[in-house]
């Protein structure tokens, strides 16, 4: 059964009713099936995520491996595999999943509890640290996987495991029981999904309990803004904290609002939506600007090179936007869904389906790349459960209306008040905006066909059976075509896709005087590989002419944008280390090529930018060219280029600019060094330490450090140093007896329990 949301204007149309046939999404679903899913299963096996279940079941000896929430990755991969199976039977894959589910089930305890970390870590007791340990988060993903596998295959084994666990959770949490809530939301929306499947009110009541308890301190300590646990949801006005947690939480609140029509929920959701999309969302649909909390900061704080924009957060924004669209029946929510889908989410996976971005910046010096896997693998496992289910987001309906939210070549069969209606979309979207829709009711049928007019689109045109519709009957962002339709009726929608030069609100400091390029739903970027090896030296004057050209031979087939930019040509003495003034940079016109943002970093490594200055005066200084940095370790989401990129910090806690850290190493001895292009005489350095204590992070200035220079005999301490400072919010300058060397090394002793990092490391040349 399926319990409809009584107070939602629209009902979802499951991907199980949709067959995707187009040249854009169908190949991506095929890649997910043939490459991404086998890759994720292999990684789960190789990293111990699967053997954790065997150990917890007593079938293998050994300790727990990985992060305490690693079970969730297995569940998400199973969920993705279920969606893959819907696109075509695969007995071998299904048998493998059945065997995997058996391994999961064997780890369940007699009382229904299932979490391999706690089973294999006897020093910790279940439910004693719900703020951190993610038990309820993992349970939510188990539940979603069980539902998905049941809906696709009809097999209950994993669903029954999940139901036993949910029954156990209901004995622990709820009114008169434990008042605690999960630190990472997920169980809430999973419980609503279970209620929708079963119709059992107790699941909905438990979801409401977890939502209502958040922000209430009775019987427990609040977790704070990081977990959206600072205020009850009805009192929240700002989008704060961890971006993924927020998206999952407000998705659940939106689901509940569809059932209870709570005016407090509705008002809060509207406030939070506007704070997000009007003040805290990137043009790519990325959210969460800082890595300090993997989430939100102040309004308009949207740095580009240091942007966090976790792939999971873009997926979460798709979840929330979709639910709000169903709740209110307004196209503005589907506009944001589309933006996040085609840009922020899709960039998270390489074209080969086997490499992933965790972080999605809007500029790169060439050292940010997708990886085959991550120790914290939430993004790869989220990608594999999202792409095969993209059909969930194309259509919506009521008893008397069909809504087309996304333009994707596909067929769908709908049940409208007991009448079967087939609909076919044909389109090359997102490369062009021509969409042909054929309606096939079994006989003439009265219904409303509602076509979303994207917010980016000027001058949409519609024809029905060759007849132009003017003026267009637009309401809530949809063209509503209300009539009696005959079988085989053809609707032609034309969505012009001019190249648009986008500008940001002037309060977004990082984008002042800059423009981004967008065509249709796609945001574009420039990569060095297409543009002479560098893109940070380019400016795009307002009068530059821009043209679109489809390249079937490039990146699987993409529409490119071409034009003429101005390239700064540095004077011979490009360095500023010993020159306060020098001749201005010259400039020359150059041809440039822009590609869709989602497709960057699929070829040769190199620079990338989304926002281009309109004037050469805003072209940034290039990194110091005669040093090459290396280190004992560099944080997974950090960059060595930060050391010499000449981005001036405002403070030691500056999150706007790239940084280098040794995270997660703590209390250890580490090093970072510069190799010079040739021997140089140096007499000093200046180091700007990174400290994220204000963001509740774990990086501090080191307990001690020293400076070495390279000689033929090896590394030697500099002579007569002026002192090795650890002052924050300032450069710590060290002068010493000049030396001729081809390299410098900083050796640090990290504080106990803390890591460290550097925002900028300057080298001072001797006269």
Angstrom distance (rounded) from CA 5 to CA 9: 8
What DSSP element (H or E) covers 323? helix 311-328
Angstrom distance (rounded) from CA 358 to CA 356: 6
- Residue from 294, 607, 670, 760 carrying the catalytic annotation: 294
For the chain, report the end-to-end CA distance as a whole number of angstroms. Answer: 81
Angstrom distance (rounded) from CA 598 to CA 616: 27
Instruction: For residue 372, give the 3-state DSSP assignment.
Output: coil
The tokens for 417 are: 């008040």
Angstrom distance (rounded) from CA 719 to CA 711: 13
Tell me how many degrees the CA angle 67-72-77 measures, rounded to the nearest 5: 120
Give the chain's radius of gyration (CA, Å): 28
Signed CA dihedral, 322, 324, 330, 336: sign only: negative
Q: How many CA atoms lie within 13 A of 148 on its CB side?
A: 27
Annotated catalytic residue 294: yes
Would residue 41 be called left, alpha or beta, if left means φ above 0 and alpha means ψ between -120 and 50 degrees?
A: alpha
Residues 748 and 704 sit within 8 Å (Cβ to Cβ): yes
Residue 118: Cβ within 10 Å count:
23
Instruction: For residue 29, give the 3-state DSSP assignment.
Output: helix
The label of the residue with tokens 């085959």 reads 372
Closest Cα to residue 4, out of 508, 459, 530, 399? 399
Distances (CA, A) of 166 to 151, 159, 173, 178, 500: 18, 10, 10, 15, 49
Using the 8-state DSSP alphabet, how is residue 697 labeled? -
Using the 8-state DSSP alphabet, how is residue 424 labeled? E
- Residue from 227, 309, 312, 378 carrying the catalytic annotation: 378
- The residues annotated as belonging to the active site are 294, 378
């Amino acid at each position: 059964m399926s319990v409809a949301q009584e107070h939602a204007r629209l009902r979802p149309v499951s991907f199980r009713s949709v067959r995707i046939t187009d040249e854009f999404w169908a190949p991506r679903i095929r890649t997910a099936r043939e490459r991404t899913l086998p890759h994720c299963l292999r990684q789960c096996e190789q990293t111990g995520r699967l053997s954790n279940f065997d150990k917890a079941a007593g079938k293998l000896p050994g300790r727990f491996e990985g992060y305490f929430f690693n079970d969730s990755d297995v569940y998400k991969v199973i969920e993705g595999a279920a969606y893959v199976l819907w696109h075509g039977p695969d007995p071998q894959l299904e048998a493998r999943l059945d065997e995997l589910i058996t391994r999961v089930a064997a780890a369940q305890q007699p009382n229904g509890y299932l979490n391999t970390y706690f089973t294999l870590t006897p020093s910790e007791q279940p439910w004693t640290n719900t703020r951190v340990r993610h038990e309820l988060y993992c349970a939510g993903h188990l539940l979603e996987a069980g539902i998905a596998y049941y809906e696709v295959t009809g097999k209950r084994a994993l669903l029954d495991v999940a139901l036993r666990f949910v029954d156990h959770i209901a004995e622990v949490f709820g009114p008169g029981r434990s008042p605690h809530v999960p630190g990472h939301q997920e169980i809430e929306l999973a419980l609503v999904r279970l209620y929708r499947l079963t119709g059992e009110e107790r699941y909905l009541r438990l979801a409401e309990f977890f939502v209502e308890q958040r922000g209430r301190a009775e019987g427990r300590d609040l977790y704070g803004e990081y977990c959206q646990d600072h205020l009850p949801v009805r009192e929240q006005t700002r989008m704060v904290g961890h971006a993924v947690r927020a998206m999952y939480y407000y998705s659940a609140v939106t689901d509940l609002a569809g059932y209870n029509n709570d005016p407090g929920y509705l008002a809060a959701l509207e406030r939070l939506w506007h704070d997000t999309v009007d003040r805290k969302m990137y043009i790519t649909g990325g959210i969460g600007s800082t890595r300090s909390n993997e989430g939100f900061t102040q309004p308009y704080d949207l740095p580009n090179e240091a942007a966090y924009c976790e792939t999971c957060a873009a997926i979460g924004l798709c979840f929330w936007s979709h639910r709000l669209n169903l709740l209110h029946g307004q196209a503005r929510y589907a506009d944001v869904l589309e933006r996040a889908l085609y840009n922020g989410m899709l960039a998270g996976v390489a074209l080969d389906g086997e490499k992933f971005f965790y972080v999605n910046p809007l500029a790169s010096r060439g050292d940010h790349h997708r990886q085959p896997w991550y120790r914290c693998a939430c993004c790869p496992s989220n990608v594999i459960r999202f792409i095969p289910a993209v059909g969930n987001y194309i259509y919506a309906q009521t008893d008397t209306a069909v809504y087309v939210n996304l333009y994707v070549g596909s067929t769908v069969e709908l049940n409208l008040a007991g009448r079967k209606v087939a609909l076919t979309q044909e389109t090359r979207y997102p490369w062009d905006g021509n969409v042909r829709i054929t309606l096939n009711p079994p006989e003439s049928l009265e219904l409303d066909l509602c076509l979303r007019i994207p917010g980016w689109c000027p001058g949409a045109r519609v024809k029905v059976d060759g007849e132009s519709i003017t003026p267009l009957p637009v309401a809530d962002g949809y063209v509503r075509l209300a009539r009696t339709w005959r079988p085989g009726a053809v609707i032609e929608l034309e969505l012009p896709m001019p190249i648009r030069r986008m500008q940001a609100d002037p309060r977004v400091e990082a984008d002042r005087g800059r423009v981004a390029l967008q065509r249709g739903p796609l945001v574009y970027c420039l990569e060095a590989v297409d543009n002479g090896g560098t893109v940070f030296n380019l400016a795009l004057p307002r009068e530059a002419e821009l043209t679109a050209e489809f390249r079937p031979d490039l990146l699987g087939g993409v529409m490119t944008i071409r034009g003429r930019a101005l390239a700064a040509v540095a004077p011979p003495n490009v360095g500023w280390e010993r020159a306060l003034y020098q001749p201005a940079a010259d400039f020359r016109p150059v041809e440039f090529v822009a590609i869709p943002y989602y497709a960057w970093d699929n070829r040769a490594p190199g620079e990338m930018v989304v926002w281009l200055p309109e004037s050469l005066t805003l072209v940034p200084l290039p990194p110091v060219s005669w040093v090459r940095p290396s280190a004992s370790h560099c944080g997974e989401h950090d960059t060595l280029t930060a050391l010499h990129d000449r981005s001036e910090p405002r403070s030691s806690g500056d999150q706007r600019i790239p940084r280098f850290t040794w995270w997660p190493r703590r209390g250890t001895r580490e090093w970072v060094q510069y190799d010079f292009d040739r021997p140089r005489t140096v007499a000093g350095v200046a180091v700007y330490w990174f400290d994220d204590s204000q963001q509740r992070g774990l990086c501090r200035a080191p307990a001690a450090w020293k400076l070495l220079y390279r000689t033929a005999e090896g590394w030697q301490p500099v002579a007569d140093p002026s002192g090795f400072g650890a002052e924050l919010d300032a450069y710590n300058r060290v002068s010493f007896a000049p030396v001729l060397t081809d390299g410098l090394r900083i050796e640090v002793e990290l504080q106990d329990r803390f890591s460290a990092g550097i925002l900028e490391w300057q080298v001072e040349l001797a006269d």
